Structures are given as C-alpha cells and as structure tokens.
C-alpha cells in the first residue's frame, strides 16, 4: 500500500485563473510551513515543476529526499483564460465558461485543457509514482490536481468533487492498495480516502 500525502502549494494571491502560469508562492508564514512539515511522514517529496509547488516542496522537505520535479502534476491548463478573471471571460463567452464549470468533462478553454484531459495527465503521473511501491509519498501540487485524485478515489461525479475546498498548505491523504502494474497501467487495486483539506 502507498499513502499519498497531497499538499497544495503556498498562496499566490493571484486574482485571475492560474494554471500553467508560473507564479511564485508566498511562503512568508513560517509557522504554517513548520506545522505542515511536522504533520507529514518521513517520506520522499515530489512536486509539480511550477515554481509555486517546487518552492513549497523545498520549504517543507526538512531533509526528506526530493524526487525530480514532475510536469505531469501541473495544474489544469487554462489556455487563453490564464490570468484572466471569471467575470471578464463570462462577458465574452458566457456559454463556454459556464459549461466548463457547470458541466465539466470534455469542454476546454481555447488553447487549454478539459477536466478529463487534465485528470488523465495527472492520474498517469500519480500512477507512475505509485508503481515505485513506496509506503508513503508527499506530493506538492495544485488545487485542480488534488481534486482530480479525490474524485478518482471517491468515484464521484466532477460536480460533486467541486464541492470540496482545498486550501493552500493543506494535506489530503489517499491510500492506494495496488494490484498489478502491467503495461504502464494498474490491473486491480483500490483506494482508501483519509482526510481531505486538513490544515495542521
């Protein structure tokens, strides 16, 4: 069994839609970072390759092994909507942005990813790490990336998983009891869901 400790990066304070835009995280709350580091197991740390995740991972590593950054763990890519506010986009293409949030699945922003595409990418990255067979793995990533795995573990519709909050510097822990890793995919296995959005 591998337990995943999914950590959302520190806040960016951005007011627009931030996906692949490489903004830094505000890591000035040292007390919160120390509490987070203390709440995590002594396990390897992997992160998205975006700086808000890599810097957060470095800040909480506390001597833990750091695995290479994984671009597969990036946030959903908002394409032409990157760094723009919802109201601004809704004024231009109201039907498209409403459908993106209200009926998520194969609908994508111009030049960006749909929810289903992002989930497939992120799940493939997680599966590669699960295949290593580590007992615990700390994964520092993003709001959307964490929600894709919560949805996967709970086996619920996307609209239902969107009800979950994933705060900055929170922990969501999921456990995977794997089957057989064959041909780059799992055959069998089951998820267990622990705490979602735990703030130490």
HSE-up of residue 72 (Cα within 13 Å, Cβ side): 15
Q: Is residue 164 part of a domain?
A: yes
Pairwise CA distance, residues 75 & 67, whole Å: 19
Neighbours of 117 (CB within 10 A): 15
Pairwise CA distance, residues 83 & 15, whole Å: 7
Q: Is residue 81 part of a domain?
A: no
Straight-line distance from the first to the last Cα atom of the chain, in angstroms, rounded to the nearest whole number: 24
Domain hosting residue 29, numbered range? 2-75+117-193
Transcribe 78-103 into DSSP letters.
Answer: -GGGBT--HHHHHHH-HHHHHHHHHS
Report the domain count for the chain.
1
Locate 121 and state its tokens: 């990418």
Pairwise CA distance, residues 109 & 100, whole Å: 8
On whether the CB atoms of residues 112 and 80 are closer than 8 A, the answer is yes
Transcribe 125-157 into DSSP letters.
Answer: HHHHHHTTT-SEEEEEE-HHHHHHHHHHHHT--
Neighbours of 74 (CB within 10 A): 24
Q: Is residue 105 part of a domain?
A: no
Pairwise CA distance, residues 85 & 108, whole Å: 16
Q: Is residue 107 part of a domain?
A: no
pTM for the model: 0.95
On whether the CB atoms of residues 7 and 195 are closer than 8 A, the answer is no
Q: Is residue 126 part of a domain?
A: yes
CATH of the domain at 19: 3.40.50.1240
Q: Is residue 89 part of a domain?
A: no
Residue in the block written with tokens 């999914």: 6
Q: Is residue 82 part of a domain?
A: no
77-87: b or e for each residue (b if 16 or more CB lie within 10 Å)? Answer: bbeebbebeee
Q: What is the pLDDT along the chain (200 residues), one digit of tens a residue?
A: 999 999 999 999 999 999 999 999 999 999 999 999 999 999 999 999 999 999 999 999 999 999 999 999 999 999 999 999 999 999 999 999 999 999 989 999 999 999 999 999 999 999 999 999 999 999 999 999 999 999 999 999 998 999 999 999 999 999 999 878 877 778 888 999 999 999 99
Q: Is residue 102 part of a domain?
A: no
Q: What is the DSSP letter of 76?
A: P
């Amino acid at each position: 069994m591998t337990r995943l400790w999914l950590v959302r990066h520190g806040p960016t304070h951005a007011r627009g839609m931030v996906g692949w835009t490489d903004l830094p995280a505000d890591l000035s709350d040292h007390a919160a970072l120390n509490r987070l580091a203390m709440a995590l197991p002594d396990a390897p740390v992997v992160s998205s390759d975006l700086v808000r995740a890599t810097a957060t991972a470095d800040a909480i590593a506390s001597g833990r092994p750091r695995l290479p950054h994984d671009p597969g763990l990036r946030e959903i890519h908002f394409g032409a909507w990157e760094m723009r506010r919802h109201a601004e986009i809704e004024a231009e293409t109201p039907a498209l942005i409403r459908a993106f949030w209200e009926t998520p699945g194969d609908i994508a922003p111009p030049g960006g990813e749909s929810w289903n595409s992002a989930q497939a990418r992120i799940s493939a990255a997680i599966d590669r790490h699960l295949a290593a067979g580590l007992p615990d793995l700390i994964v520092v990533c993003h709001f959307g990336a964490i929600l894709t795995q919560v949805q996967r573990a709970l086996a619920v519709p996307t609209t239902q998983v969107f009800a979950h909050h994933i705060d900055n510097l929170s922990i969501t822990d999921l456990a995977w009891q794997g089957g057989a890793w064959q041909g780059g995919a799992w055959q069998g296995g089951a998820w267990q869901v622990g705490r979602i959005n735990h703030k130490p």
